[in-house]
Amino acid sequence: MALARCRSCRIVASMISVPLSVLDLSPICEGSDARQALLNTIDLAHHAEGWGYERYWLAEHHNMPGIASAATAIVIGQVAQATSTMTIGAGGVMLPNHAPLVIAEQFGTLAALYPGRIELGLGRAPGTDQHTMAALRRSLSGNPDAFPRDVLELQHYFKEPEPGQPIQAVPGAGLDVPLWILGSSLYGAQLAAALGLPYAFASHFAPDALDPAVAVYRQQFEPSDQLKKPHVMLGMNVVVADSDEEAAFLKTSVMQSFVNLRRGRPGKLPPPVADYKERLMPAERMMLDDALSCSTAGTPETVAREINAFVARTGADEIMATCHVHDHARRLRSFELLAGLRDQAWRRTF
């Protein structure tokens, strides 16, 4: 493969040949607040569009002191307003928390304001704890079939209205809002395959079922009006810096967040700490190795090599990178360096 120069002015022996996208949780950093986190999101999105990223997704989480994207549709609207061409979407909306009609109206409104640029990833996880689930839903009653039915109901609202249809999404009806199914198990893979929808796997924090889920999705995929062949996007934690040592240091912020969450003490994104992993108990180190196994941190050369190896192993059609770095300028730099590794030869396939 021909040598190419990335933005760090290093020679990189191989470029990343699949599309790259951004997953942003609007992290609230220690010493800062939600307002600044949201302003950082808008700033990152503006830069990401200029750097050529394929799509920019925000995720729904609730009652999390370190995440500012709970009102996902509102944040998507702000990001779409600050950009002009990049696809903006939800990665995702936790559909059991909402009535499908409400989501159809919200994303129909976004699609009416930003035509051809809005998409909607759907998950069935709560995105929060049991008490917050009850506060969101007012009831935890339900059954395993509810999520597929809700997805089908949502799809119906985006179609052209039928004569005499009693309930319509306005805006929403007849608008092009592509749907994705998100997941970290075989359940989402099977649903995405049955509906002929693109599939995004949460390998950036729950990688255990990655290989069987992707295999099931591809084996069982049924073409649809939206998608003719399977499309798999995999999440990956990515930190790119001018040295492997700096990237490893910056990565300790997300490591601390995972450990704090498992200890039952979720909080704001902490600043990096030298030699953090070495201070942990063996069980916590094993937990990090598992939860963050789909991660890369290093120079552009290191990251390109590891992402390409991940793509070769999984057959991923697209990588969605997330980067929890405490300092906003360094976070921007990481995404800029990553964008410099992107092979311009790919084209969107759907």
Q: What is the pLDDT of residues 77-108, one digit of tens each?
A: 999 999 999 999 999 899 988 999 999 999 99
Query: Average pLDDT for residues 203-221, to the nearest whole number?
Result: 96
Do residues 44 and 335 lie in contact, with contact meaning Cβ atoms separated by under 8 Å? yes
Question: 183 phi and psi, to 5 degrees?
Answer: 180, 170
Q: What is the pLDDT of residue 77?
A: 98
Model confidence at 144, in pLDDT bands (50, 70, 90)? Answer: low
Query: Average pLDDT for residues 202-226, to the nearest whole number?
Result: 96
Q: What is the pLDDT of residue 90?
A: 97
Q: Is residue 257 part of a domain?
A: yes
- Which residue segment(s) compose the domain that 208 sits in? 13-339
Q: Is residue 7 part of a domain?
A: no
Q: Is residue 347 part of a domain?
A: no
Cis peptide bond prior to 144, omega within 30° of 0 = no
Q: Is residue 8 part of a domain?
A: no
Taking alpha carbons only, the member of 261, 241, 257 closest to residue 249 is 241
Model confidence at 199, in pLDDT bands (50, 70, 90)? Answer: very high
Model confidence at 8, in pLDDT bands (50, 70, 90)? Answer: very low
Q: pLDDT tens, 235-278?
A: 999 999 999 999 999 999 999 999 999 999 999 999 999 999 99
Q: Is the pLDDT score of 201 beyond 50?
A: yes
Count how many domains the chain has.
1
Rounded-to-integer distance, Cα 89 and Cα 77, Å: 9
Q: What is the pLDDT of residue 2?
A: 31
Model confidence at 125, in pLDDT bands (50, 70, 90)? Answer: confident
Q: Is residue 344 part of a domain?
A: no
Q: Is residue 94 part of a domain?
A: yes
Distance between the two ends of the chain, CA-based, in angstroms?
26
Q: Is the pLDDT score of 11 beyond 50?
A: no
Q: Is residue 346 part of a domain?
A: no
Q: Assign 234 to helix, strand or coil.
A: strand
The residues near 180 (Cβ < 8 Å, ≥ 6 apart) are: 89, 91, 92, 119, 120, 121, 122, 192, 197, 198, 199, 200, 233
Residue 73, both tokens: 């549709």
User: Any idea what the CATH number is for the domain that residue 206 is in?
Assistant: 3.20.20.30
Task: Work out the number of other CB atoms within 10 angstroms of the CB of residue 243.
Answer: 11
Rounded-to-integer distance, Cα 254 and Cα 151, Å: 32
**Model confidence, pTM:** 0.91
Q: pLDDT tens, 36-68?
A: 999 999 999 999 999 999 999 999 998 999 999
Q: Is residue 161 part of a domain?
A: yes
